[in-house]
Amino acid sequence: MFNYIIKYVFEKYNYIINYNNFLQLQSILILLTTFFITLFIGTIFIKKLKKLKIQQIIRKNIPKSHITKKETPTMGGIIILISITISILIWTNPCNLHTICILTSLFGYAIIGFIDDYIKITKKNTNGLNKKWKYFLQSAISLPIIYNIHLLQNNNENIQLILPFLKKSISIPQNNIWVYIIYYFIIVGTSNAVNLTDGLDGLTIMPTILISFNLAIVAWLSSDKNLENYTYIPYIPYSEKIMIICIIISGTGLGFLWFNAYPAKIFMGDIGSLSIGATLGTISILLNQELFFIIISGIFIIETISIIIQIIHFKIKNKKLFLMSPIHHHYELKGFQENHIVVRFWIISFILTFIGLMSL
């Protein structure tokens, strides 16, 4: 709605206002409105969660410093979902296939996260949804997303896999089964990776802000046909709508960080982490930037790999390599303060997203 009003003003008074600045002004307004919507919703929602006593369930083998968090409200991902939904309705038309793919990821995986959080809260344990059921539901939701992406790419005989740094791309036949296997693992894998990373105050949300902001830049570059020959970023129709959604995610993330920064007033829970991960993965596929996405989401990959290494090392040598995994818990048990660990992980995430941006 607001998007069309601003566009109308620019078109009517183009002799006064430079129309080329439309996207810049639009982006600023999207970020600010989304940020303040999240602050407003978050303030109300935290109070209600405290009254309902929807609180974080603490694992038994977790570092002792986490005991103080047992009364902190959880399921804050609902704040993120409401804010993103309202902002999308304000700033863009949700009835195109690109937006439908993104919203299917967001709400589909949010439902899985809600079920997981609900079981944990009602049963007062950290087991949550059965892992097999969780994986089955994630797979089931990813299939219609991949099918819709297939419909979007149906006019192309080949899919271009962009190679960062090399300024080249690899053409893969559109009907190659490996393409869709890659899509599947990006969506499901990122969802689980973000979920595993979400263990310290603010640890997950800052990389989310950085990643979504980088994807917004790529989407902006993809919306201009003239830039295709200079940046090797392919022109993608409707990518300006993807840009808007990426900015909305960044603005929502900044608003949520207001409450989630150490010491956190609320946790996002699985409803937030699972849906954010799947959504970012889906956006990277829609922009043909799968390898770029792997670089900028490196902090989530590092956390996941630390768990895999821990399991393999224990099976081979029958002892742990890390004091606890994911690796952020290892540093906690080594005596590092939580806020120091989080800020240093933020720094690593910033470096990775900067490297990714320079690789374009």
pLDDT recorded at residue 19: 46
Measured CA distances, 249 to 79, 208, 213 (Å): 12, 8, 8
Residues near 311 by Cβ (< 8 Å), separated by ≥ 6?
Answer: none
Phi, psi (5° rounding) for residue 230? -100, -35
pLDDT recorded at residue 127: 82
Residues near 9 by Cβ (< 8 Å), separated by ≥ 6?
Answer: 17
Cα(241)–Cα(287) distance, integer angstroms: 11
pTM of the predicted protein model: 0.92
pLDDT recorded at residue 42: 95
Cα(115)–Cα(113) distance, integer angstroms: 5
- Please, what's the b/e burial string for 275-294 (b: 16 or more CB within 10 A of its CB; e: otherwise)? bbbbbbbbbbbbbbbbbbbb
Phi, psi (5° rounding) for residue 178? -65, -25
Q: Write out residues in the chain with pLDDT < 50, as ranges.
A: 15-16, 19
Phi, psi (5° rounding) for residue 8? -60, -45
pLDDT recorded at residue 94: 84
